[in-house]
């Protein structure tokens, strides 16, 4: 599927390049005055890929970014704040991320093996469930293990969430990566809770295995099982028997944010920062975008890459309506709250336990990170990665108070950490005005109800962003969507 999309882009690029080369120097691609052809809103992966795609064939672009940083929700912690530049958003780069790997190669961004963020080195994590610490080797036979089958009792809780979408239950045809939005599988567009209850999984097992430290969503009633089946179908379709994708995930040397930064340097058009958008208006003359401080930008077309959690706070004219409006106001975004700490004392040596913990407390997944290539065994920092409803709870507190709550929870369940951890950075994706959550997720029924309609153009406004991708998720989904929106605009400009 990725190859098909790349080939389509190459064909359209070839046609459009021929037309662009025929233009006189200084003329815009659609033959008007030398003004901006396309405004791109957002300097994340989707916006930058759209801008580069349009520039490749001669169109004039202006990129408007609301924050002071390139990369959007792909965010590497600054090295002067957290040692080892851990990823705050956008962790591993899958081997199938063709577009990401292509731009990394084109713009000389070196790659290395992925550095774990929420998944620790095997054997270096312990569990803390219902007030009890449990070593990995003891979990399978522990009385607090709620699972029934021998296979599930042995499975790590860190990987249980993804195991529920096994081949035996997956209704999506192998290799058909667009089937999940076809409408033919609405019977699986139900909550993860309801799906597992149909399989007679114990409610306690559902809550612990899928409702604690969730990768997507807020709780087991809030997440569509069909979304999980799509992710599983992508992996089994691309990776099974494919040696080219073996070897695990990758990361950019120096942090994954180096990828969008390299893309931004390659953009020859303007990239204007701190452009907090107030309104987007489309009429017969084109598109007018106004910022909150009163700056006005005009172009023939606009590609808006904002997550819907941010777009719903922007005035759009003409008004969004019907299923598209429902999507903008209802699509879910996963709450993620992070507390980055530096260990000032080797607490793991004091109590002799693994340095990382998977907990059912407000500390979430507490991961000891090893991000020093010169000393691969050294713990450079630790991260409390908190998802779902627990992240929402922490969001209601002042950031410093929330961080102290996390440290207090750690001290209760593991006394050796008391006084051994120094908070260096607290970050909430929910609190970001340009994100409103870490990444999109689908609530029960939403895929069937508005998946196709939500990415439709609104007059001269086109939409991109990982939430509008069909085949991929995450970083590659963002790239896919930017490419798709750019092609849509090129077809209209041509």
Interval 324-368: pLDDT, tens = 999 999 999 999 999 999 999 999 999 999 999 999 999 999 999
pLDDT score at 358? 94
Half-sphere exposure of 344 (CA within 13 A, CB side): 7
- Does the pTM surpass 0.85? The reply is yes
Q: Does residue 425 or residue 149 have the better pLDDT?
A: 425
| DSSP code, position 245 | G
For 224, phi and psi rounded to 5 degrees? -75, 130
CA distance 283 to 73: 31
pLDDT digits (tens, 9 = 90+) for 30-60: 333 348 999 999 999 999 999 999 999 999 9
| Mean pLDDT value across residues 459-475 | 96
| DSSP code, position 168 | T
Q: Count how many residues are written for the chain.
A: 494
Half-sphere exposure of 310 (CA within 13 A, CB side): 29
The number of angstroms, rounded, from the C-alpha of 285 to the middle of its chain's C-alpha atoms is: 35
pLDDT digits (tens, 9 = 90+) for 179-212: 999 999 999 999 999 999 999 989 999 999 888 9
| Mean pLDDT value across residues 81-101 | 92
pLDDT score at 450? 96
Q: Does residue 210 or residue 298 have the better pLDDT?
A: 298
CA distance 480 to 171: 24
* Strand pairing category for 125-129 and 356-359: parallel
pLDDT score at 3? 39
Query: Is 117's pLDDT higher than 70?
Result: no
Positive or negative, the CA dihedral 137, 138, 144, 146 is positive
C-beta of residue 126 within 8 angstroms of C-beta of residue 357: yes
pLDDT score at 119? 63
> What residue spans of 267-355 are helical by DSSP H?
308-311, 322-330, 347-351
The two tokens of residue 437 are 């959550």
pLDDT score at 310? 96
pLDDT score at 21? 32
pLDDT score at 246? 74
Q: In a 10 Å sphere around its CB, with 0-12 CB exposed, 13-18 middle and 19+ buried, how is residue 137 labelled?
A: exposed
pLDDT score at 400? 96
**Please, what is the average pLDDT of the chain?**
89
The number of angstroms, rounded, from the C-alpha of 430 to the middle of its chain's C-alpha atoms is: 13
In the block, tokens 């731009």 appear at 103
- Residue 25: pLDDT band (50, 70, 90) is very low
Query: Is 477's pLDDT higher than 60?
Result: yes
The two tokens of residue 90 are 């956008």
C-beta of residue 319 within 8 angstroms of C-beta of residue 414: no
pLDDT score at 485? 98
Name which of 351, 79, 333 is nearest 214 in CA terms.
Answer: 333
Question: Of 15-19, 170-174, 444-448, 476-480, which range is least confident?
Answer: 15-19
CA distance 232 to 214: 16
The number of angstroms, rounded, from the C-alpha of 6 to the middle of its chain's C-alpha atoms is: 21
Question: Of 105-119, 129-143, 156-170, 219-233, which range is least confident?
Answer: 156-170
Query: Is 18's pLDDT higher than 50?
Result: no
> What residue spans of 338-398 are helical by DSSP H?
347-351, 388-395
pLDDT score at 118? 59
pLDDT score at 19? 35
């Amino acid at each position: 599927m990725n190859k098909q999309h790349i080939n389509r882009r190459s064909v359209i690029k070839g046609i459009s390049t021929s037309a662009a080369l025929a233009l006189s120097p200084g003329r815009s691609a659609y033959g008007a005055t030398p003004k901006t052809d396309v405004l791109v809103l957002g300097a994340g992966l989707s916006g930058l890929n759209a801008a580069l795609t349009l520039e490749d064939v001669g169109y004039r672009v202006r990129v408007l970014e609301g924050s002071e940083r390139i990369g959007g929700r792909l965010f590497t912690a600054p090295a002067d704040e957290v040692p080892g530049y851990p990823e705050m958003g956008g962790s591993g780069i899958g081997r199938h991320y063709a577009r990401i790997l292509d731009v990394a190669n084109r713009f000389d961004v070196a790659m290395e093996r992925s550095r774990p963020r929420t998944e620790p080195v095997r054997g270096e994590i312990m569990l803390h469930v219902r007030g009890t610490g449990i070593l990995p080797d003891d979990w399978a036979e522990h009385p607090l293990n709620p699972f029934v089958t021998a296979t599930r009792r042995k499975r790590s809780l860190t990987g249980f969430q993804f195991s529920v979408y096994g081949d035996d239950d997956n209704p999506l045809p192998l290799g058909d990566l667009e089937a999940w939005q076809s409408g033919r599988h609405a019977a699986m567009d139900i909550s993860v809770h309801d799906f597992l209850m149909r399989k007679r999984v114990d409610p306690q097992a559902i809550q612990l295995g899928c409702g604690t430290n969730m990768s997507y969503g807020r709780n087991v009633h809030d997440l569509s099982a069909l979304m999980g089946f799509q992710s599983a179908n992508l992996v089994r379709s691309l990776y099974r028997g494919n040696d080219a994708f073996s070897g695990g995930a990758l990361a950019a040397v120096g942090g994954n944010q180096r990828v969008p930064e390299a893309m931004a340097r390659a953009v020859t058009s303007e990239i204007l920062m701190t452009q907090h958008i107030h309104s987007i208006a489309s009429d017969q003359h084109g598109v007018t975008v106004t910022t909150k401080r009163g700056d006005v930008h005009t172009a023939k077309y606009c590609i808006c890459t904002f997550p819907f959690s941010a777009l719903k706070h922007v005035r759009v004219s003409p008004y969004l309506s019907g299923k598209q409006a429902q999507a903008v106001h209802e699509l879910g975004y996963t709450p993620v709250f992070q507390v980055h700490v530096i260990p000032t004392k080797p607490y793991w040596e004091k109590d002799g336990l693994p340095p990382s913990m998977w907990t059912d407390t407000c500390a979430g997944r507490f991961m000891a990170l090893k991000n020093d290539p010169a000393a691969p065994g050294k713990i450079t920092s630790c991260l409390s990665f908190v998802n779902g409803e627990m992240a929402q709870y922490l969001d209601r507190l002042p950031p410093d108070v929330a961080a102290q709550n996390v440290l207090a929870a750690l001290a209760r369940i593991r006394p050796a950490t008391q006084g051994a951890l120094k908070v260096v950075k607290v970050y909430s994706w929910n609190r970001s005005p340009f994100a409103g959550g870490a990444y999109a997720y689908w609530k029960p029924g939403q895929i069937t109800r508005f998946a196709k309609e939500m990415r439709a153009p609104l007059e001269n406004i086109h939409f991109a962003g990982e939430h509008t991708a069909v085949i991929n998720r995450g970083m590659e989904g963002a790239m896919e969507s930017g490419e798709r929106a750019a092609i849509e605009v090129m077809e209209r400009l041509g």
